[in-house]
Amino acid sequence: MLSIGVILGSTRPGRLGEQVARWVVEVASERSDCDITLLDLAAFDLPLLDEPLPPVRGQYQHDHTKRWSAAVSAIDGFVMVTPEYNHSTSGALKNALDYLYREWNDKAVGFVSYGGSGGTRAVEHLRLIAAELKLADVRGQVALMLGSDFEGYRTFVPNERAQRSLDTMLGEVVAWSTALAGLRAAEGN
């Protein structure tokens, strides 16, 4: 069975992303074509990149990196839940991406973003990063607006539009992850 990881890309206290990520996990868990795992960056406690060697070498010195590497290696495709901070993604998510290289290669990724402009600018930056990491980003995206998708800017309330967008994006992540399986196997990822 295909394994899809939902990465909760914010570690900020009071983060809205936790509500969003749990919704993504709940919806995705109803699918019969994949297993879903929540990867909460707060639980991995990754300091600002502290590995002495470049990640492309895969020679990790720290236990937190080894644990993060094992978690990402076990996943076939990803959904990244990202806030938009200052027209980009969170520093925590960028840092987590920078820790690894081969573990990301030849896997699909989709995005669920939230913010004043739906988090779309954060996703544009993530698409550039994904290309360098050899992550295949799918077109489908869920963009959640703070003013209309969150009651009082704090409580996430999924609506039909968001549900349709999520279903489309998840279908693309599963399809692309399946299609990339041969590349992952050939590369040992």
Angle between helices 120-132 and 91-98 (to 10 degrees): 10
| pLDDT exceeds cutoff 90 at 188 | no
> pLDDT digit string (tens) for 31-86?
999 999 999 999 999 999 999 999 999 999 999 999 999 999 999 999 999 999 99
CA distance 6 to 169: 13
CA distance 6 to 82: 11
Whole-model pTM: value is 0.97
Structure tokens at 65: 């990196």
DSSP string, 137-151: EEEEEEEEEHHHHEE
Asked whether the beta carbons of 47 and 78 are under 8 A apart, the reply is: no
